Chains A and B, each alone.
Chain A
Amino acid sequence: MRKELLLKHIIGDTSNQENCMVDQWLAKSADNRKYYAELKNLLVMETMPQTKASAEELYNFHTRMEQKQERKKSNISRQLIFAYTTAAAALLFAAYILFPKSADKRLNIEELVRVELSDIPNEYIHTIFTEPGTKAKAVLPDGTTVLLNSGSTISYPDKFLGNTREITFSGEGYFNVVSDSLKPMIIKTGHNLDVMVRGTEFNLKTFDSTKIETTLYSGKITLITGTDKKGVISYTEVLPNTKSYVSENGTVQLQKMDKMLNTATRAWTKGRLIFDNTSMSQVIKDLERWHGVNIVVTDNTILKYNITADFNSESIVQIAELIKLSARIDYKYQDKTLYLSGR
């Protein structure tokens, strides 16, 4: 093997073909590897730069050390407070026994080896997108099924690697996640929310980024709403028959579900569109997506109406006719566009 080629390889100046040659040569014997190592180490030592660090680099180092110091201090004072409150905590012991679940737990997500979609080359990622007016069903590599409502996108790898099942999702979907307690699924919404699930049925709706909605029917889901500077993950665990809303800044609002709400959220998977005292502007958005039409409001007074209705397989014209019957609204349908006006 030529020394020049080895030196070129050490500097990282070789072509793919040359790399293969060197790799093969290295694999041949321990002596070869030893020789290469000696050469490399010598070169590293001989090419030590003679430049000095700039004032800026020195400054940056000290700022960083100070920041770390401060963080440590605040940890220490927290420990002190903890010591003083131990006595007080003893008094609360009875309560603690009654509600053991309220104990502060840290989410051990960091211990999981995560292979995120961004780590994976594009050719291994599947993406399904539903145009307005269409729906689809995605079957993930682990057997999990996701029903996609109109205007939704799901991306998943052709194989789940690592200790998690990582997917991205936007729009509205009804998830039936195959249970695997060792390998949670993590759904990234692209907003201030990741959903961690192990095996559940739930509905996820991300159309409104200021109010992302999840509805849980069975099992358990964990809403991960961000990580603070110290790496502490804030999260909320949701129990079945609960609706949750996550706002843009990560606050979580939970709502116990009654039967009516239950059917309403799940209705779209059965081809039903249910409005329960829903504002006109929301109805228009849903209808546009559901039927793949444009809706133009020519008279803003109609936006003051709230609609309660249960549509099954009516066409957009039939729906418009029903709205016309129940409110002082008129319509005209032309070229896939519905014009709504007051009467």
Chain B
Amino acid sequence: MSSSTINKKFNNVYCEYLHKVRHFCFSYIQDKEICEDITQDVFETLWHRRDSVVLDSTILPYLLVIAKNKCLNALAKSKVKSKYTWRRSNSSKDDINAFALNELSVSKLYSNEIRKIYSEALDSMSPLVRDTYIKIRVEELKYKEVAEKEGVSIKTIERRITIATSILRKYLRDYIKMIVLIITGLHSV
């Protein structure tokens, strides 16, 4: 890929996700300045790795993992500093924020994002297709059962499932490579 297309892709990613990353940092770091520094740091890291990273919609969890680690570092640092100062008012909130960040594992970040795209994909389906898809794939009913219940042919059910799958594939295109790893946990939530 030429460097100009890579830069263009980077710019798209920056515009698309800057506010999201900032929102993420600000949720755990209470100091606005530190939070802004971390946000810019995250994109600086991405900029240096832009040749080796796939710059598509799977990038958000990747960015959030970087942000998570930087936030944890900043929280640990401020904890050290607060030992030397009188400012202790924020420390309990910092502690629970660090705890929450540690709970946020990489796979959780990815599955969160996939779950979100998954529900977007479901939302975009027509009600009939969605209903059928949920009955077959989520509730695991038989094609025949559903066909009989709704008074349509099995062929119709098959066609709806094909449509649903192609919509899902379109939405989750970027994730499909890794989806095998995570999809097992998806329905259980």
Residues of A near any B CB (own CB < 8 A): 19, 23, 26, 33-34, 36-38, 40-41, 43-45, 47-49, 51-53, 57-58, 61, 64-65, 113, 115, 119-121, 124, 161-162
Find out whether the CB atom of B100 lies under 8 angstroms from the CB atom of A53: no
Find out whether the CB atom of B96 lies under 8 angstroms from the CB atom of A38: no
B16 at the binding interface (Cβ < 8 Å): yes
Find out whether the CB atom of B84 lies under 8 angstroms from the CB atom of A52: no
Complex interface residues of chain B between 29 and 70 (CB less than 8 A to chain A): 40, 43-44, 47
**Chain A positions within 8 Å of B6 at CB level:** none
Q: List 5 A-B contacts (CB under 8 A).
A: A33-B99, A36-B100, A38-B103, A40-B96, A115-B84
Query: What's the minimum C-beta distance from B142 to chain A, rounded to whole angstroms?
Result: 34
Report which residue of A36, A40, A49 has the largest number of chain B beta carbons within 10 angstroms of its beta carbon.
A40
A36-B100, A45-B116 are known contacts. Are A61 and B14 too (CB-CB below 8 A)? Answer: yes
Query: What's the minimum C-beta distance from B182 to chain A, rounded to whole angstroms?
Result: 15
Find out whether the CB atom of A48 lies under 8 angstroms from the CB atom of B20: yes
How far does the alpha carbon of A34 sit from the alpha carbon of B20 in the complex, in Å? 24
Residues of B near any A CB (own CB < 8 A): 11, 14-16, 18-20, 23-24, 27-28, 40, 43-44, 47, 80-81, 84-87, 92, 96-97, 99-100, 103-104, 108, 112, 116
**Looking at chain B's contact residues, is the secondary structure mostly helix, strand, loop, or mixed?**
helix
Report which residue of A41, A49, A65, A113 has the largest number of chain B beta carbons within 10 angstroms of its beta carbon.
A41
How far does the alpha carbon of A162 sit from the alpha carbon of B86 in the complex, in Å? 11
Which one of B20, B24, B84, B97 contacts A162 once the chains associate, using CB atoms below 8 Å? B84
Find out whether the CB atom of A65 lies under 8 angstroms from the CB atom of B47: yes
Find out whether the CB atom of B20 lies under 8 angstroms from the CB atom of A36: no
Find out whether the CB atom of B24 lies under 8 angstroms from the CB atom of A44: yes
Query: What's the minimum C-beta distance from B22 to chain A, rounded to whole angstroms?
Result: 8
How far does the alpha carbon of A124 sit from the alpha carbon of B86 in the complex, in Å? 10
Find out whether the CB atom of A51 lies under 8 angstroms from the CB atom of B19: yes
Find out whether the CB atom of B103 lies under 8 angstroms from the CB atom of A115: no
A64-B40, A65-B47 are known contacts. Are A119 and B100 too (CB-CB below 8 A)? Answer: no
Find out whether the CB atom of A26 lies under 8 angstroms from the CB atom of B23: no
**Chain A positions within 8 Å of B87 at CB level:** 119
How far does the alpha carbon of A47 sit from the alpha carbon of B19 in the complex, in Å? 11
How far does the alpha carbon of A53 sit from the alpha carbon of B28 in the complex, in Å? 21
